[in-house]
Structure 1
Amino acid sequence: MLLGMGPDGHVASSFPGHPICQENEKWVTFIKNSPKPPPERISFTFPVINSSLNIALVVAGAGKADIVQDALVDGSNSDKLPVQMVTPQGKLTWFSDKGAASKLHA
């Protein structure tokens, strides 16, 4: 599966704090009040995302550097970011440009 991550840590149409993140039975659902246009969307849920054998997660842009650091390094948020809920049955591979990875230390 190919996923992207938004500047708030959302994947698919699973936005931080939105009830869609807690859906654990339906594989596909809808959202009518998306915080990002368009307001009405259809989306995979985490049960189908995480049933994947392999996920490629693409993140680009310096504007996402803080959220990449939060997701991969800090991870101390009491509320998980949606991107942190991506836990496939197989392999998760992050693909990032220099801007998005700029706050990660080697």
Structure 2
Amino acid sequence: MTLGHPKLYAYPSKESLQSDLYTYVLQAQTDAFARHSKFKVAVSGGSLPAYLASPQLISSSEIQWSKWEIFFADERAVPLDHPDSNYGLFKKELLDKIPSENGQPTVVPIDVQYLNDTQELADAYEQALVRSFAAKDSVKLPIFDLILLGCGPDGHCCSLFPGHPLLREDVAWVAPIEDSPKPPAKRVTLSLSVVTHAVKIAFVTTGEGKQEVLKKIFDEHPDVQGGQVLPCALVNRAAGEKVSWFCDEAAVKGVAFPKKSSL
């Protein structure tokens, strides 16, 4: 069975990117409600929350916040109010801006009592996923309705870094990492298999600083045999047409892979 190819969108402005990203998220929500009563989403940090939190999304009457369950694709082993916390960033950029009358999502952060033991921290977060995804039956992997990710300049996503042994993890849903090449070193992350099993996966990546890594991900790494493939390219390879990339024109300048200007 062919998985098809990821979709690569290039936008002239932040506003046009945000508009299509909103439409995409709204469709993912609609599709999710056709399957079940909740919209289960995982998000990462970086610049993603600021792009996701458009006025259109925050004020939309079509977004059913009270039916959202939001998890974190990765998190740093820091208190929730720490500047490095993905939860803290997401709360500041989006959660705090949702009007109370629009309802509030269920948000599942890490359990900070385990900050000093990343394995315990990962195990506790995995159990939170089990309670949500496997409460009534046994499942091998959770299937998120939507995972929203960024792409690091080295091609990492979540806290899955190039060449790291965690890329081969195929049992744990959530794994610890204590040697992240990007500080802080101690983190937890969804495994690659959990990411690629999502119904929809979206990357938001902008800026001319991403040109070289996107060339590698789209133009070189699909054809790599044997050698090291960047984590974002591994997601593309494993999930195919389930993956959509929302980029500005600066980020994809020089990328040969076919691009679209809108959904």
Question: Do both share a fold (TM > 0.5)?
Answer: yes
Paired letter, 2:230: L
Matches within 5 A, 1:14-93: 14-75=160-221, 76-77=223-224, 78-86=227-235, 87-88=238-239, 91-93=242-244
In 2 relative to 1, CA 89–51 (structure 1 residues): closer, same or farther, beyond 3 Å?
farther
**1:89/1:40 Cα in 2 relative to 1: closer, same or farther (>3 Å)?**
same
Root-mean-square deviation (CA, aligned residues, Å) is: 1.6
Q: Percent identity?
A: 37
Q: CA shift at 1:97, angstroms?
A: 1.1
**Given that residues 29 and 42 in structure 1 are in contact (C-alpha distance below 8 angstroms), is that contact kept between their aligned partners in structure 2?**
yes
Letter in 2 for 1:24: D
The count of corresponding residues between Structure 1 and Structure 2 is: 106
Shift of 1:104: 1.5
Q: For the structure 1 residues 92 and 2, does the alpha-carbon distance in structure 2 shift closer, same or farther, using more than 3 Å as the test?
A: same
CA distance in structure 1 between the partners assigned to 2:185 and 2:230 by the alignment? 20
1:99 aligns with 2:245: no
Q: Provide the secondary structure at the position in 2 that maps to 1:29.
A: strand
Higher relative contact order, chain-length normalized (CA < 8 Å, sep 6+): 1
The alpha-carbon distance between structure 1 residues 63 and 35, as it changes in their structure 2 partners (threshold 3 A), is same
1:52–1:89 contact (8 Å) kept in structure 2? no
Q: Secondary structure at the match of 2:239?
A: coil
Alignment partners' CA distance in 2, 1:88 and 1:69: 19
Q: Secondary structure at the match of 1:56?
A: strand
Q: Which residue of 2 aligns with 1:11?
A: 157
1:55-104 deviation per Cα after TM superposition (whole angstroms, max 9, x unaligned) = 01111111110110111012244211100111338611011112210121
Indicate the structure with greater helix content. 2
Q: For residue 26 of structure 1, what is the amino acid of its counterpart?
A: A
SS of aligned partner of 1:37? coil
Q: Structure 1 length normalisation: TM-score?
A: 0.91
